[in-house]
Chain A
Amino acid sequence: MTSSIQVVDLHKAFGRTTALAGLDLEVETGQIHGFLGPNGSGKSTTIRVLLGLMRADSGTLSLLGGDPWRDAETLHRRLSYVPGDVALWPNLSGGEVIDLLGKLRGGLDEKRRADMLERFDLDPTKKGRTYSKGNRQKVALVAALSSDVELLILDEPTSGLDPLMEAVFRDAVREFRDGGGTVLLSSHILDEVESLCDRVSIIREGRNVETGTLAQLRHLARTTVHAGLERRVTEADLAGLAGVADLVVTDTDLRCTVETARLGALLERLGEYGISTLTSAPPTLEELFLEQYRTPEVAGPR
């Protein structure tokens, strides 16, 4: 498997503020890679460095096999970028912008342009100043998706889209991936991440905390267990078990959370007491992210 994006130990500071402090990121070719993190964690800075709009202080970067700073213009012909807050020229029509951006990139696929305009239900004759936020994003998305490129870099591209358009967006991105394209998708919409992304990187304070498939990430989070037992059990009986927390025991009723990887060990032990009822809830995505975004050492005042 080759990588379209490879970032190792990336550092970037603005004056005294550190934006990126040793970030690693690897996006495999032909995959949709989710890029998550709380506000201000450095997602947009990473993307701007990858686009050669900003220069890294240190670290190794490779984008489509080139150096994003040195080879910016040749690399840019092979990618499309959609910012979260799309700014258009007030007196150019959407259609003019789509055609211009297509020509400035690798070229425009006419069939896809027509198809995307129809699917996104976008009127290309309106002037930039008259588009709403969602429609400005559609202009940028249509331009990105109908350009002839191999990599999409999307920075929260759907924050202004309605659910119907969100679905169109997901289909279009999947089609792009299925055609061999690679996508880096920064997003806060967990549902979108879950339905689209092959792999996910979570970053916090300019470092990445986790990378993997969603299944792998889930494995790191905690599962909630509620068991009814045949024999009485005390908290002391379970004291030796690693990874168990939030334990509440009343006679034969037990509630706790456990690291998903250690669920088996817990069930094995509980088996000794005879399990009469058992519900176990895997972590929801939301819990998963909240846990990654918020950890004890950064919970205090900053």
Chain B
Amino acid sequence: MTGLSGTIPLLRLAARRDRVLIPVSAVALVFVVAGSAQATVALYPDRAAALAPLRTLLANPALQAVYGPIASESLDSLATFKTILIGAVFLCLLAYVVVRRHTRTEEEEGRLELLGAGAIGRRAPLAAAVLLGTVAVLATALLTAVGAIAVGLDRTGSVALGVAWVVMGLTWVGVTAVAAQLTETARGTAGFALGALALAYLMRALGDVAADDSPLRLLTWLSPLGWGEKVAPYGANRFWLLAVGLLAYAALLVLAFVLQGRRDLGAGILPSRVGPARGDLSSSLGLMVRLARGTLVGWFVAFVVLGAVVGSLAGNVQSFVDSPETADLLRKMGGGAGSIVDTFFATEIHVAAVAAAALGISLVTRMRTEETGGRAETVLATGVPRRRWAGEHVVVGMAATAGLMVCLGVVAGVMDAGRTGDAAASIGRLTGAGLSTLPAVWVCIGVATVLFGLAPRFTGVAWAVLIAFFALGEFGDLLGLPAVVSGLSPFAHLPALPGGEMAVGTAVVLVAVAVGCVALGLAGLRQRDLPAG
């Protein structure tokens, strides 16, 4: 193949730019797999004890949908059950990030043009990106297999685990290489590559939970993530699936290079989409919601899925959490007073509340991106008052987080109705529990607003504050921190609902803090300069 000259210098450039991203991701993945395997092995010193929870796991479609089926009734399989598929998804994400970064992103930013004018072959940038992605996948898979062996798992199974990851990871190197040729934008590439990943995940989930004689089971075999899953490390150890993965990898790469040869630099294979010639946006609120539309839809879909998983898991929780240590841990985390199922719900809902707070913060901190991007001044030099513009971001943030928690509660309640037999009661209890977390979520929104209004350059600190709140609220008791310290987190003051008592006074105080923070932030914004973009 010609047009490859300059691939090696480009590869070195790309490797240098990713010298933190790739090693850190790889080590994190190895650590998660090996670490959790070791913890599981330590928890079940004898094999017999391991088999009881295994049967529950095998019988539970909700868990299979999330983690894939368990490969065998062995301790090794239990030890890696949660990490094989989820870890592979993260490996696919790494492959996608690396390939996209050095292809379409570079091209869109115009940096590839600068390089392309030098003594660089036309195919070299794609080749370099694919090589780097491939190396990242192979190295991570190899290290993970070695890590698994190191913590005492079966050798053959561990190699099969590496093979499964290679199959899935390399396929996404190929998928992203093709996706990068299709559209003009990095966003479009993300849409195709991540969309394909979501589709593959969903297909294998449907296949996995289908009845044994159902034709739907074929769906798993049609999904590249399914191929990796079917390698069944520590079970069947089907090494031959490596050939399927490599074949897909090769075919996708050939397709990517052919597509690249047929398009101009900067262009996509698909025509760029045009927008409407006339707009129906007529307010700053309309603009804000329009800009956040994609984000909001994504979050709501995620919370519906989360609600479905949490709700459907409840029935199995009783047996799932049969180890007294785990039950105790859950109780500590949720601080629950009710049944073990209620504790489970309270725990999940509190974690979801932290996630919702992340959406709230991202909606508020959008103002800073708009400001530094020079787009805020375009709006604020019209008849839109600053306070209204900022107030709208805050209100949308509060409403969206409330919507998420309601959504989670309703969906979980519907799914849980099968267990309780009383849909209205389940939905009511869980929706109420979701809503009870909002005061803490809104405090996070308030903190972000204060930072943006008074110290705009430190708006990003809101994320650090959220992480600190989360850590203090969820693990403060676990770590034995004094109540004064963990009490700094608004999440530490949330009632353990469902099952516990609603503390109205605390909720009122938290809402007052949130409102006070917002008022302070808006007042600060009214007084400060809007620097040039």
What is A's interface to B at a CB cutoff of 8 Å?
44, 48, 51, 53-55, 72-74, 76-77, 79, 81, 83, 85-89, 91-101, 103-106, 124-127, 129-130, 140
Contact = CB atoms under 8 A, between A and B. Distances in A.
A99 B283 CA distance: 10
A101 B291 CA distance: 15
Interface of B: 184-185, 272-284, 286-287, 290-291, 373-375, 377-386, 527, 529-533
Contacts of A79: 381
Contacts of A54: 529-531
Given A100-B279, A101-B382, A92 B290 contact: yes
Contacts of A140: 378
Nearest to B281: A100
B275 A95 contact: yes
B383 A76 contact: yes
A281 to B, nearest CB: 40
A48 B381 CA distance: 9
A85 B533 contact: yes
Contact of A53 (B281, B377, B384): B377
B529 A130 contact: no
Contacts of B386: 72
Given A55-B529, A85-B533, A87-B373, A96 B378 contact: no
Given A92-B275, A93-B279, A95-B277, A101 B378 contact: yes
5 contacts: A83-B533, A95-B278, A99-B278, A100-B286, A124-B277
B381 A51 contact: yes
A92 B279 contact: yes
B382 A96 contact: no
Contact of A127 (B274, B377, B382): B274
Contacts of B272: 127, 130
B487 to A, nearest CB: 38
Nearest to A53: B530
Given A48-B532, A53-B380, A125 B275 contact: yes
Nearest to A101: B382
The listed residue with most A CB atoms (<10 A of its CB), out of B375, B382, B532, is: B382
B498 to A, nearest CB: 40
Given A95-B276, A100-B287, A130-B272, A83 B377 contact: yes
A105 B382 contact: yes
Contacts of B278: 95-96, 99, 124
The listed residue with most A CB atoms (<10 A of its CB), out of B277, B377, B384, is: B277
Contacts of A81: 378, 381
Contacts of A103: 281-283
A134 B507 CA distance: 53
A137 to B, nearest CB: 12
A81 B378 CA distance: 8
B381 A98 contact: no
Given A53-B530, A93-B277, A100-B279, 15 more contacts: A44-B532, A53-B377, A73-B384, A73-B385, A83-B378, A86-B374, A87-B373, A89-B375, A92-B279, A96-B280, A99-B278, A103-B282, A104-B384, A126-B275, A130-B184
A125 B374 CA distance: 22
Contacts of A129: 185
Given A81-B381, A92-B290, A100-B287, A127 B533 contact: no
Q: Which 8 A-B pairs have the closest CB atoms?
A: A93-B275, A96-B279, A104-B382, A87-B374, A99-B279, A77-B383, A125-B274, A95-B277
Contacts of B373: 87
Contacts of A127: 272-275
A85 B384 contact: no
Nearest to A48: B532
B381 A99 contact: no
Given A87-B373, A130-B272, A95 B279 contact: yes
A133 to B, nearest CB: 12
A126 B290 CA distance: 17
A125 B276 CA distance: 5
Contacts of B282: 99-100, 103-104
A73 B278 CA distance: 25
Contacts of B291: 89, 91-92
A184 to B, nearest CB: 13
A83 B281 contact: no
A125 B383 contact: no
B529 A87 contact: no
A51 B533 CA distance: 14
B529 A53 contact: yes
